Amino acid sequence: MTTEDTFTVEPWCLREPRLELDQLASTEAVLTVANGSLGVRGTLDEGEPVGMPGTYLAGVHELRTMVYTETGSGDPESTETLVNTIDGTAVRLLVDGHPLDVRTGTLLHHERVLDFRAGTLSRELRWRSPDGRSVEVTSTRLVSLDQRGVLALRYAVRALERPVEVVLQSGLVANTQQPHLPSHPSAVDLLEHPLEPQEHDANGRLTLVHRTLRTGLLVGATAHHDVESPAELDVHGEATPDHARFTVRAKLEPGESVTLTKLVAYAWSDTHELPALRDELAGALTVARHEGFDGLLASQRTVLDGFWECADVEIDGDDELQQAVRFALFQLLQATARAEGRAVAGKALTGTGYEGHAFWDTETFVLQVMTAVRPEVTRHALGWRHATLPAARERATTLDLKGAAFPWRTITGPECSGYWPAGTAAFHVNADVADAVLRYVDATGDEEFAREAGVELLVESARLWCSLGHWGRDERFHVFGVTGPDEYSALGDDNVYTNLMLQRNLRGAARWVRRYPQAAEPLEVTLDEVAAWEQAADAVCIPYDDDLGVHPQSAGFTLAPRWDFAGTPEENYPLHSHYPYLQLYRKQVVKQADLVLALFLRGDAFTDEEKLRDFTYYEEITVRDSSLSACCQAVLAAEVGLPHLAHEYVVESALADIRDPEHDSSDGLHVAALAGTWLALVCGFGGLRQVDDGLSFRPVLPDELPRLRFRLLFRGRLLRVTVEPGQATYELLRGEPLTVRHERDDLELAVGVPVTRPTRPRPRPPLPSQPETRAPGRGTLRDDSRPGTPASAGHHEQA
């Protein structure tokens, strides 16, 4: 089996029709069930074999000391690392004394299904023990999207041809050994035994309480069991500091079954002591028991029905992409639904990749989607950023800057990355946070949030830019020595993306200080300071190469020599794994969309002609060694008239985890790339832009997709857009009348009155080249300028 046929293609689920042991670590991440506070990887119920077990609680981490051969001023002293906590999924089965293990006996059938509408991971298997006794096992697992810390599972065993004696051992297990550990050597010992036992109990229910060794966080889990069977049952419990076990024995006749229902409640805190944590555990389990397993299933369906009503994307003509975009949206919901007060990490709660850190990806990719489909998620996520302002102010002071400097990577707020030019100097995260704030309030009208948190976020970010930048002799505002989104460039001057986004930040801060003077007053903002922001924004330097007619990524970028793409073998990608960064920094080679991302997020700053020239230029040097790139390139490819190329890029983004082409999903899903799938479809083919406090659409479809339909929320209205060849239809499904822009026309929408307008044909420019071996797609690209004509893989002559 290859990664391409791990899952069958179905519209509303991922179905794994058979088990491949060499792919366990990857499928465990893909089959995660989570809610933003609690994440459980898709491990087998019996716990073995396993790729990487993982039960993660948002914010539960340990500290690891940073080691430098030579310390420097401003270097972070420690970093935060997500830890595996207490596994509540384990249910071991013994059949006449033989432990069920898919590696022994005979596995007759094995199937797992992640259901996007039910919110469950289900499993069916038939197994024959070494002595010839056969059983059928079914299980269903969920992490509640409604309750913050509840895991529920139902496990049933049925005897087949012969009587069998079965023993079920359901456990809570702490300090599970980790076969895959982070690459940093100092993290190995830390994560092998991160939890110190505090309490254990098996009197009526299973309970384990532990404390993280260095951060002192309390973590507890408690489990209740119900058992149903026509057979006589023998039940008992036992507990040790790291393992609590509930055991059931039953003698089953052919056709008889025993069903175990397990409800697990989690609680964790950095402030509460043991008595309060016990109470929280008891309360959470009481609520879960009141709901019961069937009630939790029903509430799961209710949450998902409401989500899909506002978020579903329908695609005709590409069944695999249809499945992938629903998987992406489902995982985005799982990453955020109950993440209140906590960071949304780059891998969410699906693995320990990036040590569980959150990056700018959250604001720029994830929150852009969630603002349109579940805006309350964005409010909570930006509330977390606001709560970390003290740490960001402290970081700015450490760097001898004013305002707040948000970290490149973090779990709770402090900078968690050691000095690295492509990270430490990536100040654009400030503007990314500001952009998310402005976008959210424009989309929702949530002025309460603007007053309570938004103004302060914008003001402190604006202050950073005015202390980081300077006025040059050319009377332009410059920002030197920064890193944009592209990590193959570092310490550049006047990075176009950064400067355009800080421009939006400065103008937004000035506008909001005037709009909400009472919120700005405690921040001691002066009119002179506001005027300085506006002057800097108006004069910010945007470099341009007159000879080439393109924007350099940063000043002087287009003067550097190009990377030797023709001399780089395909197996040497990603480049950072085979070449020193020093060499990458000196050449024209782009890891991920940087200038192209500016064309998307600040499209108002470029003409259509500039967008096409810039996009074509950067296609030739962008290698997409980051999963964040393809979706951005998809949006711009669609905008400049290359919808087929856009289709290839959106597929690449959408299948980053389902197919796992880079063999890197085992450490966790590419959450921002999943968000990028929606962005590529809705902002690319749907042509959506949020501008001037309103929505604008400029739709275009590739020939491969005869219909695209999507939904989104804006200012309390629910809008549905259908794009078909030559036309687009806009329907207001809920809310007060709404005005939207279709291409150049304003449309007045009311509930029950669909409006259809033609789409204007766009010129089809020649298809640009990509670096050797780096063309996107599942198959051979076709030159969009000559429909139906095959093009050579990777390189194309311009017509």
Residues that are catalytic:
487
Burial class (CB in 10 A: 0-12, 13-18, 19+), 518: exposed
Decide if 679 contacts 369 (C-beta within 8 A).
yes
Neighbours of 552 (CB within 10 A): 23
Q: Which of 507, 498, 382, 348 is nearest to 429 (CA)?
A: 498
Q: Which amino acid is at 505?
A: N
CA pair distance 560, 589, nearest whole angstrom: 10
638: CB partners within 8 A, 6+ apart: 646, 680, 684, 685, 687, 700
Neighbours of 762 (CB within 10 A): 15
Angle between helices 643-654 and 671-678 (to 10 degrees): 150
Q: Which of 380, 427, 383 is nearest to 407 (CA)?
A: 427
CA pair distance 633, 437, nearest whole angstrom: 24
Annotate 461-518 with three-state secondary structure: HHHHHHHHCEECCCCCEECCCECCCCCCCCCECCCHHHHHHHHHHHHHHHHHHHHCHH
Q: What backbone torsions phi and psi does residue 421 show, to the nearest 5 degrees?
A: -55, -40
**Residue with structure tokens 């089965």?**
93
70: CB partners within 8 A, 6+ apart: none
β-sheet bridge partners, residue 199: 209
Is the bond preceding 49 in cis, omega lying within 30 degrees of 0? yes
Q: For the chain, give me the number of helices (H) and strands (E)?
A: 21, 31
Burial class (CB in 10 A: 0-12, 13-18, 19+), 688: buried
Q: Which of 772, 793, 774 is nearest to 782 (CA)?
A: 793
77: CB partners within 8 A, 6+ apart: 65, 66
CA pair distance 60, 79, nearest whole angstrom: 13
**Residue with structure tokens 């944590």?**
277
- For 255, the 3-state DSSP assignment is coil
CA pair distance 764, 92, nearest whole angstrom: 60
In terms of phi and psi (left: phi > 0; alpha: psi -120 to 50; beta: otherwise), the region of 267 is beta
Q: Which of 737, 756, 678 is nearest to 712 (CA)?
A: 678
Is the bond preceding 522 in cis, omega lying within 30 degrees of 0? no
CA pair distance 543, 563, nearest whole angstrom: 22
Neighbours of 283 (CB within 10 A): 12
CA pair distance 692, 671, nearest whole angstrom: 29
DSSP code at position 262: E
β-sheet bridge partners, residue 143: 151
CA dihedral of 272, 275, 276, 281, whole degrees rounded to 10: 120
190: CB partners within 8 A, 6+ apart: 62, 64, 81, 83, 214
